[in-house]
Amino acid sequence: MRVVVLGAGIVGAACARELARRGLAVTVLDRGGPAAATTAHGEGNVLVSDKGPGPELELARLSRRLWPEILAEHEAPPADAVEWDAKGGIVVATTDAGARELARFADSQRAAGITADTLDAAALAEAEPHVTRDVALAVHYPEDAQVQPSGAAAFLLGGALRAGAELRTGCEVLGAVTSGGRLTAVRTSAGTIEADAFVNATGPWSGEVAARLGAPVDVRPRRGEVLVTTPQPPLVFHKVYDADYVGAVGSGAEELQASAVVESTRAGTILLGSSRRRVGFDDRLRPEVLSVIARKALRLFPCLAGVPVMRAYGGFRPYVPDHLPVIGPDPRLPGLWHAGGHEGAGIGLSPGTALLLADLLTGRAPQIDPAPFRVDRPAVLFEGDDQ
Amino acid sequence: MTARTRRHVAVVGAGPAGLAAAAAALRAGARVTLVDAAERPGGQYHRMLPEQYRAARPERLHHGWAAFDRLRRHVLGHPRCAWWAESSVWSLERPGPGDETAPRVHVVRGPADGAGRERLVLDPDALVLAPGAHDRVLPFPGWDLPGVFTAGAAQALAKGERVVIGDRVVVAGAGPFLLPVAASLLEAGSTVLEVLEANPAATVLRGWGRRPWELASQAGKAGELAEYTALLARHRVPYRTGRAVIEARGDGRVEEVVTARLRADWSVVSGTERIVAVDAVCVGHGFTPQLELPLAAGCALREGFVQVDGDQRTTAPAVLAAGEITGIAGAPAARVEGLVAGWAAGGGDAAAPEARAARRRRDRARAFAARLAAAHPIGDGWPGWLRPETVVCRCEETTYGALCRAADAPASAAARAVKLGTRAGLGPCQARICGPSVAELLARRSPPPDLAAGGHRPATPHHRPVAQPIRLGELARPPKENL
Ligand SMILES: Cc1cc2nc3c(=O)[nH]c(=O)nc-3n(C[C@H](O)[C@H](O)[C@H](O)COP(=O)(O)OP(=O)(O)OC[C@H]3O[C@@H](n4cnc5c(N)ncnc54)[C@H](O)[C@@H]3O)c2cc1C
Ligand SMILES: Cc1cc2nc3c(=O)[nH]c(=O)nc-3n(C[C@H](O)[C@H](O)[C@H](O)COP(=O)(O)OP(=O)(O)OC[C@H]3O[C@@H](n4cnc5c(N)ncnc54)[C@H](O)[C@@H]3O)c2cc1C
């Protein structure tokens, strides 16, 4: 069986790897280079802490289990470039209202089997000596981890190539060739490519690509920005984030949302995320947005006030109005499959997504319920009016 | 007309180009805000000595000092000019498509090492960008040893701080800028062993043409060059073409350099290596324009510089450019470009006789820039000097070998992925030093497919939306607006 994966971001890379290892003849194509788009413009949090009970949490837990397994398959140094760090996350509420909400949220997660330990002031001070003392509630999630996203994507793609997949860059999908109502080939800027199945993994462009293929899905860009400081001595030891983050993730609001996510990287820089705005593909960095991110981060770590920001970057999260990824066959166009719409969690969720997609595509029983991610749900097929 | 209703021109950079632009905009009747990160105006060329040195004769080592001093006093003392010293433009916010207004200028003001600089924004009617260039250095084995200086840094130390960088110095690289650097070192008391121009005499002569002095004199450079040449001759410093420093060696600091003859493409002619004992070496391979602000403003580039029309207007609405960001031709050229840009930005009449005269002088300066570029190109063969263990990004200590491995692996070959994987260019200098070299090395190994990475700008080493570092505490505060 021949499969063409459209898009060489982390989701396409993970799918290609999983399919190639099952013996399928896989081609990955991308209009740019591998892992150069959204995957190289975000952060690498692999989180369970920000997800309430439900299908996304199940996908996150599956992925969290798969990451170490996948990394263990190859020796360092390739796996080293992934910078896997199971450092755990700490969620901090600085207001009483926030604390009540966080307590309720953590309870519901515990009921779903997530480890969420409440930290008292002393335990928090020991875990994060530089965090604000102005804390109403802090919860520790030991399962949270992080990767370096483009390193992780390169690692997954490398696995696909070793398993026999072929990579074609500089190849843009332009349209469909159908036969008897079935997708049999894609027209690209580098010729027509035939296959038995096509996986749309084009991230925030999934909507546009699906429309070109004649089966539109409602995936839209949601802009996010991140600040990067100059290298610092160790100051931040976990991923530390504001309890508001959970609200911002779950919101679909058009206006600016920002919540602090503070983490250090192996290079010593501190990443401060992130904003959420719906502005189409407008890639201008707005200083006032950066200012809001700085303000929120300083609320968590007042001691960072004198630390210089040397860089800022931004990307477009692939956003679906009901905040769930789209994974599975497209019932309107046999031969077309989707793996996208992961919004701000596509790095972390890529292994589980690939496993689920490959199970469905090769007819194996999936490990989690695929129904919530199906393509023919109202949020995905509804054609937005505000684009 | 009140000050408020006058046309407002913001000028970024108070080097030769920016200062002239401010003067011309004032003359055209505009209100001007002149912004520079430095404490004093003058830019790289008229690098002023720190006040505390109270230099008795600042004009020593400074050509055209008297004219510069007059211009500086005129502009800074002008009632319609606001001079913002120690003010860094850290971001330019371009308007949306179809909006013809100038970008919003975001500034942090105050001593760079002091706490709590204030954040300010300007919304000018026109913006003149004159941020200049910084000197470029190609990597070679040992270039990261202490005692290896960029020509610009050596020049700044000698001219700005009067610091002697070494007793026995070799000056090497490409371009006429090596001459003033050697001159400053001699003036500061160093022994300059030799000045090495990497391009062979044939390339240099072909570029300068048959009557180089005439050309240089049109660009206002002849007297200066003659003076440097005479100074070198007096000190018996040999000027050699077709030779370069290809390696620096030493235990903890540079003790000797290896020089070698080069072919026209800068590949080494083996067997011509010579070892020279030194205690410092200066290298410079031309200049890299500071393109982060023009790119943030949305200006198109042409052959690596900001593209401008006859009035120095860029392709971005209400944004003009002058000086080294539009081409490298020295301070007099930067000045005349500044005059043209400032006059247009200030709403001056394009048909005025002085505007016509300035444009004619600017055209000659451009011709000079073109010939300079032809006479002192960067040869394609320089990567041959590198070894796998040679560091190419000094901040992150990325080696040439690591870069090649990342670029050759198909799964990580995209420029951005290579950067994130090897961290080349991600350190505190934000690729100002290594960016163009790394980009060239990568482009040679795999032609960049990134151009089409939809929705994201084409990879350029100059894309820095945060143009100058800003502290989190400064960024967090709301700005003062519309001053
Ligand atoms: C600021 C920010 C912070 C984030 N933080 C996190 C985080 O901490 N943790 C986390 O898990 N996730 C995070 N994310 C989200 C994560 O980055 C994305 O979910 C993920 O990268 C999506 O991967 P993808 O492969 O679907 O898309 P992409 O990486 O965008 O890949 C899609 C590919 O499709 C290609 N393509 C598009 N159109 C065509 C076409 N017509 N023909 C051929 N190819 C095409 C593109 O060139 C691209 O390479 C963040 C995102 C942002 C913006
Ligand atoms: C280190 C160095 C030394 C040099 N020495 C000589 C010499 O001795 N003889 C010679 O003939 N030529 C010399 N040159 C070349 C000469 O400096 C140029 O020809 C000339 O100065 C160019 O003028 P300019 O106005 O374009 O830029 P510059 O003179 O470089 O002025 C640019 C100004 O912009 C300011 N600036 C830049 N970015 C920002 C920002 N984001 N915010 C605020 N301000 C900003 C800088 O502080 C600077 O003052 C030197 C160049 C360099 C780089």
| A104 Cβ contact list (under 8 Å, min separation 6) | none
Of A144, A220, A126, A211, the closest CA to residue A173 belongs to A211
Nearest by CB to B417, which of A31, A154, A230? A154
Residue of the CA atom closest to atom 15 of ligand 1: A344
Q: Cis before residue A77, ω within 30 degrees of 0? A: yes
Is A284 strand, coil or helix?
coil
Tokens of A157: 């793609």
Closest residue by CA, ligand 1 atom 8:
A45
| Closest ligand 2 atom to B181 CA | 8
Q: Which residues contact B219 (CB under 8 A, 6 or more apart)?
A: B329, B330, B332, B333, B364, B365, B368
What is the distance in A from the centroid of ligand 1 to the CA of A294?
A: 24
How many C-beta atoms surround the C-beta of residue A231 within 10 A? Answer: 17
Instruction: Say which CATH architecture domain A2-66+149-219+322-373 belongs to.
Output: 3-Layer(bba) Sandwich (3.50)
| pLDDT of res. B16 | 95
Spacing, Cα A304 to ligand 1 middle (Å)? 29
CB contact under 8 A, A36 and B450: yes
Name the residue of A317, A320, A327, A357 whose CB sits within 8 Å of the most ligand 1 atoms, as the mutation to test its pocket: A317
Ligand 2 binding pocket, CB closer than 6 Å: B 12-18, 35-38, 43-45, 88-89, 130-135, 152, 155-156, 177, 180, 290, 293, 323-324, 330-331, 334, 467-468
Strand partners, A145: A46
Residues lower than pLDDT 70 in chain A: 75-78, 245-255, 382-387
Q: What separation in Å is there between the alpha carbon of B15 and the centre of ligand 2?
A: 6
Chain A partners within 8 Å of B421 (Cβ): 81, 148, 150-151, 154
Task: List the 30-49 stretch of A: residues with Cβ below 8 A of B.
Answer: 30-37, 40-41
> Chain B within 8 Å of A205 (Cβ-Cβ)?
yes
Select from B12, B36, B44, B108 the residue to mutate for testing ligand 2; criterion: most ligand atoms less than 8 Å from CB: B44
User: Which of A157, A235, A284 is best to mutate for the B interface (most B CBs within 10 A)?
Assistant: A284
Q: Report how far ligand 2's centroid is from the alpha carbon of B47 (Å).
A: 8
Nearest-neighbour CA in chain A from B99: distance (Å): 14
The tokens 């005059």 sit on which residue? B339
What does pTM read for this prediction? 0.92
Q: Tell me, what's the pLDDT at B450?
A: 44
Closest approach of B372 to chain A, Cα-based (Å) = 34
Asked if B427 contacts A231 with a C-beta cutoff of 8 angstroms, the reply is yes
**CA-CA distance, A222 to A255, in Å (whole number)?**
11
Please tell me what DSSP assigns to residue B4.
T
Chain B residues with CB-CB distance to A30 below 8 A: 449
CA atoms within 13 Å, Cβ hemisphere of B85: 9
Instruction: Spell out the alpha helix ranges (H) of chain A.
Output: 10-21, 55-72, 96-111, 121-127, 149-162, 206-212, 244-250, 287-300, 346-362, 378-381
Chain A / chain B CB contacts < 8 angstroms: 172
Report which bound ligand comes closest to the CA of B342.
2
CA distance B132 to B327: 10
Query: For B457, which residue in chain A has the nearest alpha carbon?
Result: A283
CATH of domain A89-142+221-319: 3.30.9.10
Residues of chain B predicted below pLDDT 70:
1-4, 46-63, 210-220, 446-459, 482-483
Index of the ligand 2 atom closest to the CA of residue B155: 3
Are A276 and A224 a contacting pair, CB within 8 Å?
yes
Total length of chain A: 387
3-state DSSP assignment of residue A366: coil
**Both structure tokens of B198:** 């990497």
Q: Which positions ≥6 away from A87 have C-beta within 8 Å?
A: A144, A145, A146, A237, A238, A239
Least distant ligand from the CA of B223: 2
CB atoms within 10 A of CB B341: 35
Residues of B in contact with A158 (CB under 8 A): 409, 411-412
What is the side-by-side order of every strand in the sheet holding A220-229?
A117-119, A137-141, A89-93, A239-242, A257-264, A270-276, A220-229, A308-319, B470-471
For A297, the closest chain B residue by CA position comes to B472
Q: For an interface test with B, which of A150, A226, A275 has the most B Cβ atoms less than 10 Å from its Cβ?
A: A150
User: A291 and B454: CB-CB below 8 Å?
Assistant: no
The answer to whether residues B438 and B415 touch, using CB atoms and an 8 Å cutoff, is: no
Cβ–Cβ under 8 Å, residues A341 and A207: no
Give pLDDT, residue A248. Answer: 63
Q: Is the CB of A223 under 6 A from ligand 1?
A: no
Residue spans per domain, chain A: 2-66+149-219+322-373, 89-142+221-319
What CA–CA distance (Å, rounded) separates A383 from A208?
12
Atom of ligand 2 nearest to the CA of B224: 11
Cβ contacts of residue B24 below 8 Å, gap of 6+? B338, B339, B340, B341, B342, B343, B346, B348, B358
CB A347 within 8 A of CB A45: yes
Residue ID of nearest Cα to ligand 2 atom 16: B45
Q: For residue B35, how many C-alpha atoms fall within 13 Å in the half-sphere facing its CB?
A: 25
What is the arrangement of strands in the sheet containing B87-93, beginning at the earlier edge strand?
B87-93, B104-109, B118-122
Q: Which residue of B has its CA nearest to A35?
A: B417
| Interface membership of A157 toward B (CB under 8 Å) | yes
What is the structure's pLDDT at B452?
40
Q: Which chain A residues have a beta carbon less than 8 Å from that of B405?
A: none
Q: What is the pLDDT of residues A108-135, one digit of tens each?
A: 999 999 999 999 999 999 999 999 999 9
What separation in Å is there between the alpha carbon of B180 and the centre of ligand 2?
14
Decide: helix, strand or coil at residue B223. helix
Contact (CB, 8 A) for A346 and A203: yes
DSSP characters over A117-159: EEE-HHHHHHH-TTS-S--SEEEEETT-EE--HHHHHHHHHHH
> What is the distance in angstroms between the Cα of B419 and the nearest Cα belonging to chain A?
10
A336–chain B Cβ distance below 8 A for any pair: no
B473 Cα to the center of ligand 2, angstroms: 29
